[in-house]
């Protein structure tokens, strides 16, 4: 029997069908081992020795592989064709060797697509494991571990509120923060444009004023309304004749097929997908055999695929759409070993596959790959110059005509920023000749303001990271997700905003670890890792060079007192925290007492700005409120006004659990938390919050009150012990009787027999389960987080955090839980009868997983003999 190891059960099922009898295909469900999340897992003093441990949820999966390997004649490691795939195969081989279950014949097989022809052909050409790729994996994993586990303790002790920092993650965060700084420093400028609306032979077109009083107009030349109106009057009074008509033919060439990075960018622009969602959907398409491997930085296609694409073009279009020769693209990847084939459909004859997001992403991949082999588009650009009699004033009209669409008939690449109307050249111009005098329909003077650089979207951030050579495209989705999960950034309308904690962390790293968040340094590290995977560098030499400088720097910062760190950050951030005042006043003078000096402080709940006259003056403001007057810092006491009903003062304050509003003083004062979706808090909003719960009215059927309020899990409606979730704080105050009755009815019907709660919002979505087809969701339950496919629920192990859960791990948990469930129609055996035999040995107790019944029985038998009393403790220790 030949044992084949792949990553996912869907992939295993498909490949086993292709290979037929004599082959057993098992899934490892991704990586089986990792570095234990504790100090000492990588030991630089022992020549970078590394400890590995099995993932807690992989015990049963790995046991199945070990059991099969003991009886296998040959082991075929067929994991993904990249560095991570090579690493998974290496881990499986190493672990089987330690368990003395490794067959004598071990080979590595890779394929770029899961089709029968590709898989069977790959099986004919096995190879050895690529040690260079394995070394590159070890170097990257050790490097990231040493960076995180050395720097994070420094953050915890010296920067209140900081959670952790990663090597690539910190640089991506710096990009977002720097863009925020650019936006804040930007000063908008006014400018005007003058556009004449002209007509030639019944066709209207627009012409821009580009020269006025003999001077060429730049973008900001007409800087105020007065200058614009003067120019407008001149254009209205003058007669303009056509002086030049320039027609210039140009060609647009198609883009290459998708790489991981360009797929993420285009899916974000055109489909609105996040990078992580794009990769999940692409993984599903790959495992279904619809597309080739989706983690790649290569842009070339296999010759057979190019032939198939050209055949598909010939079938759908006439001969003009097919270039004489196939198009060949060259990869920009520095490491040729990791530059695999581009992402493309496995069958160009199939222009549709799947439904929903899978169908939309497949359509994008198919069109891009097909267009890459099509003819160029022929475009004719026309520029018409019009002057009045003196030659001092000049108008210009531009337009373009697509003479032959070529690849544009199938696909056009999206853009991050849509061109403004004033730069639009896509319009069609009427035929004109020198000497023509187009009729004038009107003249418009439009006011504009320069715009700051846009905040990064996922597409533009991924593009920028790739341009800088930071990280690798296959890691971008996980990197961006970590920034969101740790609340260093937030996204609004698909744009990244730096949060207070992210901004402070970036300032800390720039001040104390400047080298390690420098773009050139991080990109240089990627080059060194590429050299390792290319066999041009020794991985431990790379680690030694990094550790030699990084460790002393970390120790130096760790030796500083927290107050010293805060003082240095106070100076480093003074331009942001204390910007110059318009009246020239000292920005550090306390606005409350007028005597104390403002400075940055570190508190239990993060950084804030406070007055030096504390405790006499208790003025504070948030770190994220530069130059503002008391806007909610730790321990803040800001008055919002007086309640007109009670006459009591209303305050905005910040406590242990965040900002809140308070009515009056003392223990009996009424308080209410401030929801995050309230924009600008004022007295009116504060009184609304303090007045909750709000009575919506009397339910027409029960005669009992319906109320709206905000609870621990957000805004909701309540009626007779039943609840319905609301989407926003605004709905708490806007929902009327009819809408409330409908929402409560929907919530009751949606919750089934329990009926008192609405369906929980998923914490994360993982796509369809490869076997059951149900959508896999991560939900917050009463007893902790769990995953479900709609049929089977599986609780997350204690050692697994919800934010780091992967799709493969979610599938494994569900499959494992489903395997333990009794068959339909059979009653589950009573828990008491399971251990009625002999007391389970220690090893059996350790393998019990959840282990609750085994522990209970062992505890009952413990009094019989003294040695037996030790068994529950041992079993419990191993189970935990």
Counting Cα atoms < 13 Å in the Cβ hemisphere of 604 gives 6
Q: How far is CA 169 from CA 157, 208, 470, in A?
A: 20, 46, 10
Phi, psi torsion values for 122, nearest 5 degrees: -65, -35
> 381: part of which helix (H) or strand (E)?
strand 377-387
Q: What distance in Å separates the CA atoms of residue 312 and residue 496, rounded to the nearest whole number?
A: 40
CA–CA gap between residue 787 and residue 814 (Å, rounded)? 7
The alpha-carbon radius of gyration of the chain (Å, integer) is 33
**C-alpha to C-alpha distance for 37 and 19, rounded to whole angstroms:** 39
Residue 682 gets the label, from left (phi > 0), alpha (psi -120 to 50) or beta, of: beta
Q: Which token pair is 650?
A: 């209303």
As a three-state string, the secondary structure of 606-656 is EEEEEECCCCCCCCEEECCCCCCCCCCCCCCEEEEEECCCCCCEEEEEEEC
Tell me the β-bridge partners of 490: 497
| 3-state helix, strand and coil shares in percent for the chain, rounded to the nearest 5 | 40, 20, 40
Query: To 5 degrees, how large is the angle CA 402–CA 404–CA 406?
Result: 115
Q: Is 293 a catalytic residue?
A: yes
Cβ-defined contacts of 775-778 (< 8 Å, 24+): 776/807, 776/810, 776/811, 776/814, 778/802, 778/805, 778/810
Per DSSP, the three-state class of 420 is coil
Residue 472 has a CB neighbour count (10 Å cut-off) of 24
Question: How many CB atoms lie under 10 A from the CB of residue 425?
Answer: 13
The alpha carbon torsion through 29, 804, 509, 601 (nearest 10 deg) reads: -170
The 10 Å Cβ neighbour count of residue 630 is 19
Q: Count Cβ neighbours within 10 Å for each residue of 283-299 and write b for 16 or more, e otherwise.
A: bbbbbbbbbbbbbbbbb
∠ CA(121), CA(122), CA(126), 5° rounding?
130
Axis crossing angle, helix 83-98 with helix 59-69, rounded to the nearest 10 = 70
Q: Which residues of 487-513 are buried (b: 16+ CB within 10 A; e: fewer)?
A: ebbebeeebbbbbbbbbbbbbbbbebb
Can you tell me the distance from the alpha carbon of 509 to that of 174, in angstroms, rounded to the nearest whole number?
Answer: 9
CA distances from 258 to 143, 274, 477, 720 (A): 29, 16, 16, 55
Residue 50: phi and psi, rounded to 5, are -130, 135
How long is the chain? Answer: 880
Q: How far apart are CA 463 and CA 482, in angstroms?
A: 18
Q: Hey, which residues does 420 pair with through a beta bridge?
A: none
Catalytic pick among 55, 286, 293, 476: 293
Determine how many CB atoms are found less than 10 A away from the CB of residue 302. Answer: 15
**What is the C-alpha to C-alpha distance for residues 444 and 198, in angstroms, rounded to an integer?**
11
Question: Which residue is listed with tokens 């270039």?
Answer: 323
Instruction: Fill in the DSSP letter of residue 75.
Output: E
For the annotated catalytic residues, the residue numbers are: 293
């Amino acid at each position: 029997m030949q044992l084949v190891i792949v990553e996912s059960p869907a992939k295993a099922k498909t490949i086993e069908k292709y290979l037929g009898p004599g082959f057993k295909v098992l899934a490892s469900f991704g990586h089986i081992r990792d570095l234990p999340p504790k100090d000492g897992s990588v030991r630089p003093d022992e020549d970078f020795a590394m400890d590995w441990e099995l993932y807690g949820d992989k015990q049963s999966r790995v046991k199945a592989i070990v059991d099969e390997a003991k009886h296998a004649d040959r082991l075929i490691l067929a994991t993904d064709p990249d560095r991570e795939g090579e690493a998974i195969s290496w881990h499986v081989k190493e672990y089987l060797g330690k368990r003395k279950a490794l067959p004598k014949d071990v080979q590595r097989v890779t394929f770029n697509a899961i089709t029968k022809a590709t898989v069977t052909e790959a099986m004919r050409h096995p190879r050895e494991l690529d040690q260079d790729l394995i070394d590159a994996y070890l170097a990257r994993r050790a490097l990231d571990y040493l960076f995180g586990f050395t720097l994070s303790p420094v953050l915890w002790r010296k920067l209140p509120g900081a959670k952790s920092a990663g090597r690539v993650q910190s640089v991506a965060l710096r990009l977002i923060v720097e863009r925020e700084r650019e936006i804040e420093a930007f000063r908008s400028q006014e400018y005007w444009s003058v556009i004449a609306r002209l007509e030639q032979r019944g066709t209207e077109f627009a012409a821009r004023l580009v020269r006025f009083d003999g001077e060429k107009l730049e973008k900001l030349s007409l800087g105020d309304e007065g200058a614009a109106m003067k120019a407008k009057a001149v254009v209205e009074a003058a007669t303009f004749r056509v002086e030049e008509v320039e027609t210039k033919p140009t060609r647009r060439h198609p883009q290459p097929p998708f790489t991981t990075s360009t797929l993420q960018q285009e899916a974000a622009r055109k489909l609105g997908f996040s990078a992580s969602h794009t990769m999940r959907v692409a993984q599903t398409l790959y495992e279904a055999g619809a597309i080739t491997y989706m983690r790649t930085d290569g842009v070339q296609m296999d010759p057979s695929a190019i032939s198939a694409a050209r055949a598909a073009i010939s079938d759908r279009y006439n001969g003009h759409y097919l270039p004489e020769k196939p198009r060949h693209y060259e990869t920009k990847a520095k490491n040729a070993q990791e530059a695999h084939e581009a992402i493309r459909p496995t069958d160009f004859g199939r222009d549709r596959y799947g439904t929903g997001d899978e169908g939309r992403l497949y359509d994008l991949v198919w069109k891009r790959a097909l267009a890459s082999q099509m003819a160029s588009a022929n475009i004719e650009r026309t520029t018409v110059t019009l002057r009045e009699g003196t030659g001092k004033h000049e108008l210009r009209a531009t337009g373009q005509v697509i003479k032959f669409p070529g690849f544009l008939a199938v696909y056009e690449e999206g853009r991050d920023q849509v061109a403004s109307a004033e730069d639009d050249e896509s319009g069609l111009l009427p035929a004109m000749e020198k000497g023509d005098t187009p009729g004038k329909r009107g003249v418009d003077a439009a006011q504009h303001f320069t715009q700051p650089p846009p905040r990064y979207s996922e597409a533009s951030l991924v593009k920028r990271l790739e341009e800088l050579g930071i990280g690798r495209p296959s890691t971008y989705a996980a990197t961006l997700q970590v920034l969101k999960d740790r609340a260093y950034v937030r996204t609004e309308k698909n744009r990244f905003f730096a949060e207070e904690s992210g901004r402070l962390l970036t300032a800390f790293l720039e001040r104390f670890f400047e080298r390690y968040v420098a773009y050139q340094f991080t990109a240089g590290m990627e080059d060194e890792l590429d050299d390792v995977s290319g066999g041009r560098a020794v991985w431990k030499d790379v680690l030694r060079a990094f550790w030699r400088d990084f460790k002393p720097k970390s120790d130096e910062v760790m030796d500083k007192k927290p107050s010293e760190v805060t003082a240095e950050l106070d100076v480093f951030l003074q331009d942001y925290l204390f910007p110059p005042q318009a009246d020239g006043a000292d920005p550090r003078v306390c606005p409350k007492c007028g005597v104390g000096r403002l400075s940055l402080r570190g508190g239990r709940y993060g950084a804030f700005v406070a007055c030096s006259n504390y405790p006499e003056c208790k003025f504070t403001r948030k770190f994220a409120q530069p130059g503002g007057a008391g806007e909610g810092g730790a321990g803040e006491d800001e008055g919002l006004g007086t309640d007109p009903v009670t006459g009591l003062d209303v305050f905005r304050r910040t406590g242990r659990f965040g900002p809140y509003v308070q009515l009056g003083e003392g223990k009996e004062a009424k308080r209410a938390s401030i929801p995050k979706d309230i924009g600008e808090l004022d007295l009116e909003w504060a009184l609304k919050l303090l007045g909750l719960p709000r009575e919506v009215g009397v339910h027409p059927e029960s005669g009992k009150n319906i109320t709206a309020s905000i609870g621990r899990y957000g805004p909701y409606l309540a009626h007779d012990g039943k609840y319905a979730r609301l989407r926003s704080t605004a709905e708490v105050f806007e929902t009327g009787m009819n809408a409330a009755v409908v929402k409560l009815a929907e919530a009751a019907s949606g919750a089934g027999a329990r009926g008192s709660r609405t369906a929980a919002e998923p914490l994360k979505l993982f796509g369809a389960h490869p076997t059951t087809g149900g959508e896999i969701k991560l939900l917050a339950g009463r007893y902790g987080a769990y995953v479900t496919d709609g049929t089977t629920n599986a609780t997350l192990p204690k050692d697994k955090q919800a934010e780091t859960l992967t799709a493969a791990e979610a599938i494994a948990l569900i499959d494992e839980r489903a395997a333990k469930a009794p068959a339909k129609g059979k009653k589950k055996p009573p828990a008491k009868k399971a251990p009625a035999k002999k007391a389970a040995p220690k090893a059996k107790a350790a393998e019990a997983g959840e282990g609750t019944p085994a522990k209970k029985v062992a505890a009952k038998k413990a009094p019989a003999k003294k040695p037996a009393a030790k068994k529950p403790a041992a079993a419990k220790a191993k189970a935990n």
